[in-house]
Amino acid sequence: MFDAYVFDAYGTLFDVHSVTEKLEEKYPDKGKTISQEWRRRQVHYFMIRQLIDGYLPFDQITRNALIDGLKFNRVDFKPNDLEELMDAYLHLQPYEEVGSVKNHLPDNSLTIFSNGTPSMLYPLLENNQLKDTFQILSADEPKVYKPVAQAYAYAQKQLQIAASKDVLFLSSNPWDIAGAKNYGFTTAWVNRQQSEWPSLDIKPDHIFDNLNDLK
């Protein structure tokens, strides 16, 4: 047992590609490729902003990534389309087992620590009836993105956990696991795709097929 269980949100609890259906409605035969480009640019852009010490809120980065993803796929779009698609990001679908995570850890508080802004995360929980399951910590508060060590230090301080190893941090994103592990958290990589761990010279403490492995 750990003193704290901390979860990444995007790609770990919520399927970022569940926007594909909405994209496909608007842009037939291009929904999947737009979704993939949107996510790729979203991660790429916040990494760049962190490297140049030029923080922008995650919702703005997500919007910028969407615009460029649409342009890359050569589709016509209007401002109303952007608003509708950004709203879809507040309705991402949770993975099948997310609703039962609390059943596995009934005596523990569960925390989301995400690069997402509170204005993105709270509606996401509300829209999926999960607001009573998770509390939220956002990298928007210290204005430092994961996977920088200062971001995880902020989370540990807010959780009031003395030893970093007593935090189990779960993410499907290798860059996030590498950052958390490097900081000192105990880590669990949620590997739903049965992928190979990348050659980062940092390895997760645990590899889960999904969140049911918390049993």
Is the backbone of residue 172 left (phi > 0), alpha (psi -120 to 50) or beta?
A: alpha
Number of separate helices (H) and strands (E) present in the chain:
8, 8
8 is catalytic: yes
Active-site position among 8, 15, 140, 176: 8
What's the per-residue H, E or C state across 137-182?
A: EECCCCCCCCCCHHHHHHHHHHHCCCCHHHEEEEECCHHHHHHHHH
What is the CB neighbour count within 10 angstroms for residue 55?
Answer: 16
Q: Is the bond preceding 28 in cis, omega lying within 30 degrees of 0?
A: no
Which structure tokens are listed for 39? Answer: 């996510």
> Torsion angle of alpha carbons 181, 102, 95, 205, nearest 10°?
20
Which residues are marked as active site?
Answer: 8
